[in-house]
Structure formats: structure tokens, C-alpha cells
Structure 1
Amino acid sequence: MTIKHSYKGSNVALITPMFDDGAVDYESLNNLIDFHIDAGTSSIVSVGTTGESATVGVKEHLKIIKHTIEYAARRIPIIAGTGANSTSEAIELTQEAKNLGADACLLVTPYYNKPTQEGLFQHFKLIAESVDINQILYNVPGRTAVNMSVETTARLSKISNIIGIKDATGDLAVIKGLVKSCPEDFLLLTGDDATAVDFLLLGGHGGISVTANVTPKELQKVYMTAIAGNADLAKKANKELTSLHQNLFVESNPIPVKWALHKMGMCSKGIRLPLIELSSEFRPLIENDLKELNLI
């Protein structure tokens, strides 16, 4: 197994737990890190989309990453979310994450400014050339308003420290294209829980998951079974999680998953504006899922 496949299986897109006033709850963060180490999660993504990267300032962003790395103390790999729509800011965040001891960085496609495919290529190429750390691309057009093509990803896959991609399109034609176009040791991770099993059966190596926040041990079993090619067993195990996969996206992530973890007693309800806590109409859906899985 090469270093590029050290993130095989279920990697958690970890929430950033907060008190009701929005301040980061570092004690709950410690407990969540231990929870994932005990569950066998492959790695933790710190301050990605689910970790509310869009609502924390730069200093706080780095403070959360630093705390996560120090508390984890090499017991589990830490992937730092360091993407930005400004190339210079992404370089700065990535360099700082390297300095703090991150194992790799996750870099989302620049949002809002809608770069061309060549712009995307040059953006990621410059970050990779500027900071000597393993980097994972992140394509999530539903949030960024830009879709990185398979062809652009394939070009970037030739850069030695760009080791993989998190694809959150939910489009299985994309994984087929990536398997065909990218080197065999280029890490292919899904960012879409609903289609993850099919993604893995088509040649993916793992995922960066929201559901893993709630059921890390169960999801790791599903993922590793699918990666091993045992389709029937993986689909059967995943069936129990299907409702949770769907309901964790009834409102914008991480609103539902934070509510779920709150109900499980893992953290407070805190979330930052412009995000607000889960609407009352959706709470019974999440609570029912948790009861079905014997989590509350």
C-alpha cells in the first residue's frame, strides 16, 4: 500500500463542536477525536465544509487545526481543510497547516469566482508547487458553483504531491472517468454518502463522510466491505444507514449532523450564523434514525 492509499476507507469530515453562543467547545472536540480513534476511522478532516470552515476566521481556523493535531498526537492522521477562493490565501493556509504538522491538506475548488478549467489547474498547481505537503483536491459543485472536469483532475494527478480527490458530485460517471484517466495510485474518495457504496464498487478507495460523524464504526465496515468488492454484503450493511445518509442533508450540512450529535450527547447545539440549528419540522426524522440505530 502506497502513502496515497493511507486514507483508504472511511475518513470523517469532522464537525467543529460549539457552545450555544458559537464559541468552539474544545473539550467536546477532544471527545470526538477519541470517539473516531476508538471506532477505527481512517483519518479526520479538520475544518472542512462540515467543520464550518466558512464561518470561522483564519486565526481560529488554524487554532482548531492545531488543537486537533496536538490532541490526536499521531494516533490518527489529520487532513487539514485549507481551501480558499483566493489562491494566495489557500497557499498561506496550506503552509500553516504543514507547519502545524498536518498529514495532508484538503483543497476545495475556488468558490464564488467561477474559474475556468485552466484557472483551476493553475490554482492547484501553484499551491502544490508552493507547499511540500500531500494535497487532496475537493470537487463539490453543489456548493462552489464550479465543477472541475475529469480531464482537469487527470492533469493535476500527474503532480507528485497532489495525491487524490474528494469527489462530491454524486455522479457515478465521474468515478468511472477518474478510474480510467488517473494513475492507479491516485486516491479516489467520495464525498457523497448516498452513492458511496456504488462509488467504491466502481474502483474508489474510500470516502470523506458526514455520516461517519454519527456511525463511524458501522460506516468503516460498509466501506471496507465495498472496497473488497463484496457488493451484496456492503449494500446490505449500508441499507441500515440509508435513511441517515439522506436525512443528514434535509438542510444544509452541517445543520442536521450537529443536531444528531447533540441528541447523542456528544456536543451542544451550537452552530454559527448564517447557519442556524435544525428546523423543528425535521428533528423527528433525525431522532427516529438515531433510535432505529440504537444511538439514543
Structure 2
Amino acid sequence: MAALKGYGLCSMDSALQFPCPRRFDGYKRRSSKCVSPKAAVVPNFHLPMRSLEVKNRTNTDDIKSLRVITAIKTPYLPDGRFDLESYDDLVNIQIQNGAEGVIVGGTTGEGQLMSWDEHIMLIGHTVNCFGASIKVIGNTGSNSTREAIHATEQGFAVGMHAALHINPYYGKTSIEGLIAHFQSVLHMGPTIIYNVPGRTGQDIPPRAIFKLSQNTNLAGVKECVGNKRVEEYTDNGIVVWSGNDDECHDSRWDYGATGVISVTSNLVPGLMRKLMFEGRNSSLNSKLLPLMAWLFHEPNPIGINTALAQLGVSRPVFRLPYVPLPLSKRLEFVKLVKEIGREHFVGEKDVQALDDDDFILIGRY
């Protein structure tokens, strides 16, 4: 019983008990229920963590104009903690090669494997170090509306320029529920909605986006359904970024997309900028398609993690459940780098095919 008291639990004979109304012999008892004090019931108690300071806030139009946004990789130390030195180098390379924004803690950055403390810390670190040079878009979405609200409040409090929000996955919800979920966070600041049915198990239909577009904080949509959907949005004045690297060239130049939120730009940011800024370039697109196919041979971020390790840009450390691509694919990557040109890739070391024993797989961190 002493142990229970240590956890704030009391026995029935303890002096510390929640009081119930005292019963008197002469009182006719109509109900045996304890009545809570009315003062304990406070409707609409939650108040958002809202700041009235606006001088350093990002205008939604500043987000809408971005053409190359990198879904940045999160490197790890051998014990599984963030390798901030490698991370900073990688972000600096993005800035030097013309990327205009980074998604922090997205699918590629393995936000799904982070605690919220890690997540918000990394967003704040990125803003603190690079916020003057590149737009920092924090992935603060969740399948729990409560968590999405809390994380987004924290993300904007530490200075992120915009939020990325996915629709509730696994449990899913109705279309009306989707709209209510996004409306609960849109008022906080510039927001990109991310539609990737292959991961969430549920498409966000255009009618939901059209309804949400009435809020001026909706910067646009990261769309993975395909270019016909991209065209439907752009025809109706909604900003779209292609979420599929292998479609982004056509999406940009044939279907009206503003740009791309890219995994490939982790590796070749300069070439991805050229693809988005310098007009239709079918030759360059064809040159990059085999690399893009290689990156997505297994679910992202397995390919990008393997590639950056082989380029010597990040340590070969994987947080499980992700594991490196097999040796045959690692050898294929070496060949791709040589065909495209090592000078176009991030890092300064020669590309190498790592052995299985070179990788560190971590389950608890």
C-alpha cells in the first residue's frame, strides 16, 4: 500500500479521499450519486497558445511562391540521437544549391520515429540556424487532432514559417471529420496539406480542399495522387506541389504546379532547382528518372538513407524499422552516381558500396 501511495493512490482507509456529500439519518436520500461541484465544469476551457506579435510572421504568399522544397533527411549518431553536425551540413548544402524550403521531420526526415520533444527541438534548431536563409516548414501533423494542435502551437512558437499537415491515418475519418481536423490548425499560420493515400489509406478529395481554401492560411497542397489532380487544383487557383519526384517535371511545366516537395533534392539539389526553374528540360528529367526510381524501390526513406550513407554525408545509422537496401541495390547506386556525375551530388567523398557490416541498426534510442 505504501508503494501505491507513492504513485498518488490511496486506500479506502486513508485520510486522503475525495469527499462525498455527508449522509444524515434524517435526510431522505433520493440518489446515491455524488454530485460534482458546478464550478468544476468549465465549458470551452481550452485557449490556443496564440501570440499577437506579427512583425516576424511569414506571409502565406511567401510559402506559395516556393518551387523547390526539400524533405530533409535526419542523420543519426551511432547511439541513435540526432547528428546535428551532419544535419547542418546537409541543410547548408541545400541553401547553397538553391533549395528554397525544407520540410523538417516529414516522412523523409522520419518524424514518425521521433518523440514530439525531438521533433520540436529539430524544428527550433533549424529555424535558429537557417531561418534567415531558407523557409522552415515543420511537419506537425498527426492522426490525433489533439496532438496536431499542440505540436503546431509549439512549432509556430519556436519560429517555423509554415506547417505541413497530413490527414488522420489508420483510424481515418469522414470527409466532414477531415475538414474539421484541418480547420482546427489552419488558423495558426501558413499551412500545406499533404495528400498521400498510399500512406494514409484515405484520399483527401478536392471538395474538402476547396472548402478549406476559404481560409487564407492555406498555402497549398502537396499532392501525390497524380497530375490530373494537380491540374484540377491549379485550374481553380489552388497552389500545388508535386509530391512525386518522378512526375514533378511534367507537373510543373504541363499541369501548372508551383514546384516540388522533393526527396531527390537531398542528393542533387542543384539539378532539382534547374528542373523547376529553367523551363521544360526533358533530357535532364530523363537523366534523373532512374535515380528517382532507385530511391523509391523500397518505401521512402530507405533509399535516401542508404544513398546519403554511401556518399559519406551521413553515418550509416538506421532507426528501425528501416534497414538499408541490399548490396545489389547499393552497387546500382554507385553506377547511377557515376552516370549522372559525382559533381552533381552532395558531399565531397567518393561514393562507395558499403558492406552489410558497415550499417548500424538501432531499435531503442
Contact 1:175 1:203 in 2 (8 A): yes
Contact 1:105 1:134 in 2 (8 A): yes
Q: Relative to total residues, which structure has the larger helix share, 1 or 2? A: 1
Give, in whole Å, the separation in 1 of the partners of 2:289 and 2:174: 35
Contact 1:156 1:162 in 2 (8 A): yes
Q: 2:156 aligns with which of 98, 101, 106?
A: 98
1:224 matched residue in structure 2: 277
Structure 1 position 245, deviation (Å)? 0.8
Structure 1 pair 282–147 and aligned structure 2 pair: CA distance change class (3 A): same
Give, in whole Å, the separation in 1 of the partners of 2:320 and 2:77: 13
1:27 matched residue in structure 2: 85
**Structure 1 residue matching 2:317: 3-state secondary structure:** coil
1:145 matched residue in structure 2: 201
Q: 1:270 aligns with which of 296, 308, 317?
A: 317
Aligned residue runs from structure 1 range 145-224, under 5 A: 145-169=201-225, 171-181=226-236, 184=237, 186-201=238-253, 202-224=255-277
CA deviations on 1:216-269 (whole Å, 9 max, x unpaired) are 0110100113xxxx43xx212211111111100111111111111111111111
* Percent identity over paired residues: 31
1:135 matched residue in structure 2: 191
Q: Structure 2 counterpart of 1:3, which letter?
A: D
1:46 matched residue in structure 2: 104
Structure 1 position 285, deviation (Å)? 2.2
Q: Which has the higher contact order (CA 8 A, sep 6+)?
A: 1
CA deviations on 1:107-154 (whole Å, 9 max, x unpaired) are 11111112122111111011113x2x1010000111111110112111
**Structure 1 residue matching 2:117: 3-state secondary structure:** helix
Give, in whole Å, the separation in 1 of the partners of 2:127 and 2:305: 22
Q: Structure 1 counterpart of 2:190, which letter?
A: N
Give, in whole Å, the separation in 2 of the partners of 1:110 and 1:290: 37
Contact 2:75 2:82 in 1 (8 A): yes
Between the two proteins, the alignment pairs up a number of residues equal to 283
Give, in whole Å, the separation in 1 of the partners of 2:283 and 2:214: 37
Structure 1 position 53, deviation (Å)? 0.8
Q: Structure 2 counterpart of 1:205, which letter?
A: T
Contact 2:233 2:239 in 1 (8 A): no
Please, which runs of 5 or more residues in structure 1 have no aligned partner? none
Structure 1 position 277, deviation (Å)? 2.0
Please, which runs of 5 or more residues in structure 2 have no aligned partner? 1-59, 343-350, 352-365
**Structure 2 residue matching 1:154: 3-state secondary structure:** helix
Structure 1 position 196, deviation (Å)? 0.7
Give, in whole Å, the separation in 2 of the partners of 1:187 and 1:177: 11
Contact 1:256 1:286 in 2 (8 A): no
Q: TM-score, normalised by structure 1?
A: 0.92
Give, in whole Å, the separation in 1 of the partners of 2:138 and 2:267: 20
Aligned residue runs from structure 1 range 239-250, under 5 A: 239-250=286-297
Q: TM-score, normalised by structure 2?
A: 0.75
**Structure 2 residue matching 1:147: 3-state secondary structure:** coil
**Structure 1 residue matching 2:219: 3-state secondary structure:** strand
Q: Structure 1 counterpart of 2:199, which letter?
A: R
2:36 matched residue in structure 1: none
Q: CA RMSD in A?
A: 1.5
CA deviations on 1:133-192 (whole Å, 9 max, x unpaired) are 1010000111111110112111111111111110122x22211211223xx3x3211110
Q: Structure 2 counterpart of 1:19, which letter?
A: L
Q: Structure 2 counterpart of 1:180, which letter?
A: D
Give, in whole Å, the separation in 2 of the partners of 1:167 and 1:47: 18
**Structure 2 residue matching 1:189: 3-state secondary structure:** strand
1:17 matched residue in structure 2: 75
Q: Structure 1 counterpart of 2:151, which letter?
A: L
2:21 matched residue in structure 1: none
Bigger CA radius of gyration: 2
Contact 1:260 1:286 in 2 (8 A): yes
